[in-house]
A and B are shown apart, each in its own frame.
Chain A
Amino acid sequence: SQQGEEDPQALSIQEGENATMNCSYKTSINNLQWYRQNSGRGLVHLILIRSNEREKHSGRLRVTLDTSKKSSSLLITASRAADTASYFCATDPGSNYQLIWGAGTKLIIKP
């Protein structure tokens, strides 16, 4: 069963704007990970944030984690056309060697 739920399902913004995607989950986790997928290809790992961390940065990406609300957000600043992709969150419950995936947010950056 899928634990992560991304919101929104789709997002279309102008190049240069910021994009925010949210992920909610249901059970306790060891960590939460964000991945990007371009056009039905393999996924690329973006950021891993552990349950004892609240915020993490990587270049133009900022991830926050609120374990009390069981939610995370991914912020992409100064978006570029190359950021057009689907973004997935995945949670590690730490108990069964399996990441639990959300259905993803489809992000479109308009030039």
Chain B
Amino acid sequence: KAGVTQTPRYLIKTRGQQVTLSCSPISGHRSVSWYQQTPGQGLQFLFEYFSETQRNKGNFPGRFSGRQFSNSRSEMNVSTLELGDSALYLCASSRAGTGNSYEQYFGPGTRLTVT
């Protein structure tokens, strides 16, 4: 089974621009979660999608948004980029249905640098 894929792997953007990151989950996984990871901050939860519905959102400004398509692929968008948005963005998929009692499978991440 193919793992979780994320594109692009690396991205350099300028302040004020916007960016879209893509995630393809493992086949059959309907839950996709997004995280932001910065040095020393651990993983900060962005949002979780299941069957095209956002079920939970972390404490991030409205500049961060996402969506999930009918094939479970997901995208996240960050508008009006700030220097502080430089981070590794991780996507994870799971067999989770009504709960979250399953392990998450992570993609390799997209490293975003904002200059």
Contact = CB atoms under 8 A, between A and B. Distances in A.
Contacts of A45: 103-105
A30 B50 CA distance: 19
Nearest to A46: B103
A50 B103 CA distance: 11
Contact of B45 (A30, A43, A99): A99
A97 B50 contact: yes
A45 B92 CA distance: 11
Interface stretch (B13-21, B35-43, B64-72): B35-43
A96 interface: yes
Interface residues of A, number: 27
A42 B45 contact: no
Contacts, number: 75
B42 A103 contact: yes
Contacts of A35: 104, 106
B4 to A, nearest CB: 7
A97 B46 CA distance: 12
A43, A90, A100 interface centre (most CB from chain B within 10 Å) = A43
Contact of A44 (B31, B43, B106): B106
Contacts of A88: 42-43
Contacts of A41: 108-109
A98 B107 CA distance: 17
A101 B108 contact: no
Interface string A31-51: 101010000111111001010
Given A48-B103, A98-B33, 8 more contacts: A30-B101, A41-B109, A43-B43, A43-B92, A97-B48, A97-B96, A99-B45, A103-B41
Interface of B: 4, 31, 33, 35, 37, 40-43, 45, 48, 50, 55-56, 58-59, 88, 90, 92, 96, 99-109, 111
